[in-house]
Amino acid sequence: MSNKLSLDDAIRIAKSHEEMCLSEKYINNRIPMLWKCNKNHQWTASFDSIKNRHSWCPYCAKKKLSISVAQELAHAKNGKCISEKYINNSSPLLWECANKHKFHLSLGDVKNQGSWCRECMKLGLEFAQNLANERGWICLSDSYHNRRTPLSWKCSEEHLWLAQIDSIQRGTWCPYCVREKARLGIEYAKKLANSKNGECLSNVYTNCTTTLHWKCSKSHEWYASINTIKNNNSWCPYCANTKLDILVAKDIAYSRGGECLSDSYIDCKNHLLWRCNKDHQWYATLSQVKNKNTWCPYCSKYKRERLCREIVSKYLGPPSKIRQPDFLKTPKHPSGLHLDIYYPQYSLAIEVQGKQHKHYIEHFHRTLEGFNNLLAQDQLKKELCEKNQIVLSLIRMKEKSMPIYVYAIDEIPKESLKHMKSNGFAPDWPFRLLVCGGSHSGKTNMVVNLMFGNKLQRMFKGKKGERYIKNDNLILVGKHTEPKWQLVQTSFQIFANSQKPYREDVTFKRITPDRIPDITKFTPGQSTVVVFEDLCAESKKTQERIIPYFISGRHQNISPVYVTQKYQAVPKIIRENLSHLVMFRGSGSREDICRIVRQYTDDPKKASKIIDKHLRDRDFVVFDFTKATDDPLTIRLGWDTPLKLD
């Protein structure tokens, strides 16, 4: 029997609401029709929205839809509504998701049905299917809404259940298999103990890493996981005492330049007395030192991490207790990668790293593969932080006098950036600085380093530190705010609110290009750095507002910084009034470089090749136009190293 709808159905449903359907023709349930409520409001809506979505007069319900509603909905989904005109609830609008996919959907579909980007849905479903395949499962769902919507799964044992993709990604398993393995696990443990002429005294099995109670044929009792017994081929530690004794402890201590001061060994859970090569003494079990690669707590990263946490807590309050946030959980790391100090409210994380994060250390990494795995984890952590807009600040245990700290997780400092000896290499005040470089070249990171110096890093260690450029005010002019500038803003607030000797009366302010102030509004009694970031494509009117900062800003105690991608895209009058030029990879052609260096060398082509090679190697080159042409610091590799062009 046919259930095809008609105009009569529309009229009947309108009457049931004591309203009217004014349309004289019905095409299908998606085409808008004209309706009128009992208060004489008229509007258009599809029959589907009236019949199935139970919507009615938007005026009476005070829910009149508009393009602003669409824009708010899109913003809530981290996307955009590109359309500028709204017709009705059923007319398609152009949308853009967070992944830059463009698609058409009606406002009704997005608002009432929860529909969104089909491409992302495909990717989400494909990811779920791949995740299932890795475990020998099948994802039975044929549609994907979001990460919180349960999907249907089937394991290799044909069990069916519902679970969110986030739950599967965190490492949860088939609930039926888990219960079955728990039942069989204790039986297997008892059989395993029996095969070694011993007993498993436990009666409850949780998982393969949970310790069980064992007894050997000589009635020694101890605790160990089934994984330890099965995979490490271990058994009674008392019977195997000759394998793990005081001589082993002394050998390990000697290999690390220290001593084991204890004279006897009982078992792996009893503490021994140790001494490092700096005469620090502490107690730790042999298991902690041998198997967990721990060593002197006074020399190690952990003391510095605690100190860093204490100092940061004075200014930002206690860090989050969540050290392994969800965004650091992956199929390979289901429990999540670890952050030393995490402030989600400031989008900030701090890692206190020792030399084991840069150099292979045998007693720490054990194998070269272990070292490579640590580097891979560090890189993955940086990428996931970047993806989730978290600024990851790395604090090295060893510092040089003017190092480059990485405040942007997508930029890689080169070795030449680490040889800065003092703030004497920073530009003299007042300066007029142009910084050019392609995306992800490190240009903004370099500017942030000039603003911070080593002050922030040394504050974390209880030392005073200094900013390389000591200005009173910092103004950022731009359309887009990168996470690293949020770090600058937070840090300037810390500097301003600290007690002596850390306190500095500094301010940070962001403004949009249309609000660039006249330079006469500035007070010469206050030193101000104004950073113009990525504005070369702005209107001529905007450029005309910027130019006075480079022509006469010094009279108002202003030092301007122009940050952009291409050297030639900068207005000529700005280029001609620079005190310093910093070039990164992608900043210009070799011909551009040749034109700049011809005043310093008889062979500009050769010199441009040398500079171009350094830029391609991710170094940056500084031209100091305030110095004589024969001064070795006129052209530098980084801020501190003279660059020879011959």
* pLDDT the model gives residue 300: 56
Helix intervals (H) in 155-210: 165-169, 175-195
Evaluate if residue 489 carries a pLDDT over 80: yes
Residue 618's alpha-carbon distances to 443, 500, 585, 591, in angstroms, are 11, 38, 6, 19
Residue 420's alpha-carbon distances to 60, 401, 403, 447, in angstroms, are 69, 6, 6, 15
Mean pLDDT, residues 206-224: 80
Taking only the tens place, the pLDDT of each residue in 156-198 is 888 888 888 877 877 777 887 777 666 657 888 888 899 889 9
Tokens linked to 223: 């605790």
- In this structure, are strands 473-477 and 528-533 parallel, antiparallel, or unpaired? parallel
Mean pLDDT, residues 8-27: 84
* pLDDT the model gives residue 399: 42
Mean pLDDT, residues 278-288: 81
Mean pLDDT, residues 289-318: 73
Q: Which of 408, 413, 454 is nearest to 638 (CA)?
A: 413
Stated as kind and residue range, the H or E segment containing 233 is: none
User: Which residue would you say has higher pLDDT here, 369 or 577?
Assistant: 577
Taking only the tens place, the pLDDT of each residue in 98-149 is 888 898 888 877 876 667 787 776 657 787 888 888 888 898 888 777 666 7
Evaluate if residue 267 carries a pLDDT over 50: yes
Mean pLDDT, residues 440-469: 82
* pLDDT the model gives residue 182: 60
Quote the percentage of the chain above a pLDDT of 70: 85
* pLDDT the model gives residue 640: 82
Q: Which residue has the tokens 């998701």?
A: 97
Residue 362: pLDDT band by 50, 70, 90 thresholds? low
Domain ranges of the chain: 7-112, 118-173, 176-231, 246-291, 301-396, 425-642
425-642: CATH number:
3.40.50
Evaluate if residue 9 carries a pLDDT over 50: yes
Q: Which of 244, 248, 283 is nearest to 267 (CA)?
A: 244
Tokens linked to 414: 């080169």
**DSSP 3-state assignment of 470?**
coil
Residue 634: pLDDT band by 50, 70, 90 thresholds? confident
Q: Please give the Cα distance from 139 to 128 (Å, whole number).
A: 7
* pLDDT the model gives residue 123: 59
233: left (phi > 0), else alpha (psi -120 to 50), else beta? left
Q: pTM value?
A: 0.40
User: Which residue would you say has higher pLDDT here, 239 or 409?
Assistant: 239
Q: Please give the Cα distance from 426 to 99 (Å, whole number).
A: 40
